[in-house]
Chain A
Amino acid sequence: YAWDANEEYLFKAMVAFAMRRYSSKSTTQISNVLLCNVTDRVSFWFVVTDSSKNVTTVPGSEVEAAIRMNRNRINSAFLLSDKTLQFLKITSTLSPPVEPSTPVWLIVFGVVLCLIVAGIVLLIVSGIQKHKKKNKESTERENLEEKVEVTLENGIPCEALDLKAGHINGVYAADDERFTSL
Chain B
Amino acid sequence: LSATPEIPKEDGRPKWDNKFQYILSCIGFAVGLGNVWRFPYLCQIHGGGAFLIPYFIALLFEGIPLLHLELALGQCLRKGSIGAWNTISPYLGGVGVGSWVVSVLVSLYYNTVLTWVMWYFINSFQEPLPWSVCPLNENRTGFNEECYESTAVNYFWYRKTLNITPDISESGTLQWWLILCLATCWAIVYLCTIRGIETTGKAIYVTAIFPYLVLTIFLIQGLTLPGATDGLIYLFTPNLNTLKNPRVWLDAATQIFFSLSLAFGGLIAFASYNPTKNDCEKDAVTVAIVNSMTSLYASIPVFSVLGFKATTAYWDCLDRNIISITNEFDLPEESIMRQNYTSWISFLNSSYPEKIAGLKLKSCNLQEFLDQSVSGTGLAFIVFTQAIILMPGSQAWAILFFIMLFSLGLSSMFGNIEGVFTPLLELRIISKSAPKELLSGIICLISFLIALCFTLGSGSYWIDIFDRYAGSVPLLVIAFFEVIGVAYIYKIKRFSKDVEWMTGRKLNLYWHSTWRFISPLLLLIVFMAFVTLQMQKPPSYTAWNPKYEGFPMKEEKVYPPWVQAICVLLAALPCVCVPLVALFHLVKQKRRSKDPSFVPPEVFSCQGVNS
Contact = CB atoms under 8 A, between A and B. Distances in A.
A163 to B, nearest CB: 22
B194 interface: yes
Interface residues of B, number: 32
Contact of B123 (A41, A42, A97, A105): A105
A69 interface: no
B142 interface: yes
Contacts of A97: 128, 133, 135
Contact of B136 (A96, A104, A113): A96
Interface stretch (B184-192, B262-270, B282-290, B591-599): B184-192
Nearest to A84: B333
Given A41-B331, A97-B128, A113 B123 contact: no
A109 interface: yes
Contacts of B435: 127-128, 131
Interface stretch (A25-33, A59-67, A72-80, A115-123): A115-123
Contacts of B332: 40-42
Contacts of B333: 41-42
A108 interface: yes
Nearest to A96: B136
B184 A116 contact: yes
Nearest to A107: B125
| Interface range on chain A (Cβ under 8 Å from partner) | 20 to 34
B190 A120 contact: yes
A6 B77 CA distance: 91
B395 to A, nearest CB: 11
B568 interface: no
Given A40-B331, A96-B136, A120 B141 contact: no
Contacts of B346: none
Nearest to A130: B435
A112 B122 contact: yes
A104 B194 CA distance: 30
A112 B184 contact: yes
A40 B331 CA distance: 6
Contact of A108 (B122, B133, B142): B122
Interface in A37-56: 39-43
Contacts of B136: 94, 96
Contact of A120 (B133, B194, B327): B194
Contacts of A101: none
Nearest to A93: B140
B191 A123 contact: yes
Nearest to A86: B327
B195 interface: yes
Contact of B191 (A105, A108, A119): A119
A39 B330 CA distance: 6
B352 to A, nearest CB: 16
Nearest to B121: A108
B359 to A, nearest CB: 15
B326 interface: yes
Contacts of A104: 123, 125-126
Given A94-B136, A120-B194, A127-B435, A113 B125 contact: no
B180 interface: yes
Contacts of B199: 123
B316 interface: no
B331 A116 contact: no
Interface in A80-99: 91, 93-94, 96-97
A36 interface: no
A175 B143 CA distance: 122
B426 interface: no
Nearest to A37: B330
Contacts of A105: 119, 122-123, 125-126
Contacts of B188: 116
A174 interface: no
A79 B326 CA distance: 21
Nearest to B119: A105
Given A41-B326, A120-B191, A96 B122 contact: no
Contacts of A128: 435
Interface of B: 119, 122-123, 125-126, 128, 133, 135-136, 140-143, 180-181, 184, 187-188, 190-191, 194-195, 199, 326-327, 329-333, 435, 437
10 contacts: A41-B326, A41-B327, A43-B330, A104-B123, A108-B122, A109-B180, A120-B190, A127-B194, A127-B195, A128-B435
Per CB-CB distance, the 6 closest pairs between chain A and chain B, nearest first, are A41-B330, A39-B330, A40-B332, A108-B122, A105-B122, A104-B126
